[in-house]
Amino acid sequence: MGDHATRLPLEQPDRRSTYGRALLLAALLYVFLVGVNGLGAGLRLLGGGLLDDIFRATANPFLGLVIGVLGTSLVQSSSVTTSVIVAMVAAPENALPLTNAVPMIMGANIGTTVTNTMVSLAHMRDRDEFRRAFAVATCHDWFNFLTVVLLLPLELALGFLQHSAEWLAALATGWGGVSYHSPIEGAIRAGIGPIKRALAALTPLAQIQAVLLIAASAAMIYVALIFIVKTMRSLVKRQVESAISRALDSNPMISMAVGMVVTIMVQSSSITTSLLVPLGGAGVITLAQAFPTTIGANAGTTVTALIAAASVSGPHAAAGVTIALVHFLFNVAGTVLIYPLKPIRNIPLSLARRLADVAARSRWAAVAYVGFFFYLLPAILAWLSR
């Protein structure tokens, strides 16, 4: 009886803390969805002039790809980029045509790899450790580069990702042109209303209201996702580390599944892949062991865009669901094309090892690789492709 009395006070705060974090997570998710919807409302207020400019700019698929890389590299989160793309595609004014958005999604997949590559730079003091860590980090880069090289020409020629996603979206949102309506539309509108009224009171100019609403919505998306990731990580930290440890001793299919599930749990592929980098640097895991978990994380991160698509309604809402499904299908198709055949699977692994050898010989080469390929080169290409 005495033991029970002493244990109970220790258990209660932990349970209350878990409940509190779960409520915080629900609130953050609501803020995220309000931000996604608010972005579409801001684009509608902005009018046709700027939207026409976006149409023209992103009509160049190469420029769309570069914008996806650069935007995601800057915010270090493909979830933020893809959520914004979903909002633009689903906006009532159709701010971003679906066809134009597909290359941007591909670029976002490349841009998101910068985080774990930067994490590997922390191992630079020990040459051998850095070589192993950098190889584990950059296999993610090379896998996404190769996926884009394989799929972008096919998409431009056949549009198979877009057509497949449209077919799946029709199953989810209704047949025969039925307009999709979000089941939480009323709750989302209740959150946007006070923001729009406050901006209207601040200035009577619709254009300024639109810019402020877009800025506020983008900030809500970014901040909410940052805290969602932190909250999810604190809730499931032990389970995540345990799951990844067990996955590394399993067969590749289980490792992929664990990478996907863990990423869905923490809502960040960067966390999943960054956990592998120090393990690789320490020699606890090999590059071949880390690779399938990385691929699974790629697929898991697509869930955020699907959640964002659930908050939109109206005539173009199905397009928002479609582009979210394009993100998922892109990663699944890349896995199917690259992983099963050993000669193809070894391409990103071999490139990662070679790049790691160069980086180990010259630490500045590693820093230059990150700065040039993820920031400077995309910025130059975007400027040249205007």
How many helices, marked H, and strands, marked E, lie in the chain? 18, 0
Whether 287 contacts 136, CB under 8 Å: yes
Whether 311 contacts 37, CB under 8 Å: yes
* Integer Cα distance of 188 and 31 in angstroms: 9
Q: Which of 184, 220, 169, 176 is nearest to 312 (CA)?
A: 184
Whether 256 contacts 219, CB under 8 Å: no
Query: So what's the pLDDT on residue 1?
Result: 41
Query: So what's the pLDDT on residue 7?
Result: 42
Residues 96-137 pLDDT 10s: 888 889 999 999 999 888 888 888 888 888 889 999 999 999
Splitting the chain (386 residues) into consecutive groups of 10 residues, what average pLDDT does each group show?
A: 43 61 79 77 64 66 86 78 84 77 92 85 88 93 94 92 90 54 66 83 80 84 76 64 65 86 79 82 86 91 83 74 93 94 94 94 88 84 71
What are the backbone angles phi and psi of residue 274, rounded to the nearest 5°?
A: -70, -25
Residue 29 contacts by C-beta under 8 Å, 6 or more apart in sequence? 224, 228, 307
Query: So what's the pLDDT on residue 314?
Result: 67
Q: How far out from the chain centre does Cα 350 lie? A: 26
What are the backbone angles phi and psi of residue 283, rounded to the nearest 5°?
A: 80, 10
Give 172-196 as a DSSP string: HH-STTPPB--TTHHHHHHHHHHHH
Residues 25-34 pLDDT 10s: 788 878 887 8
* Integer Cα distance of 58 and 67 in angstroms: 9
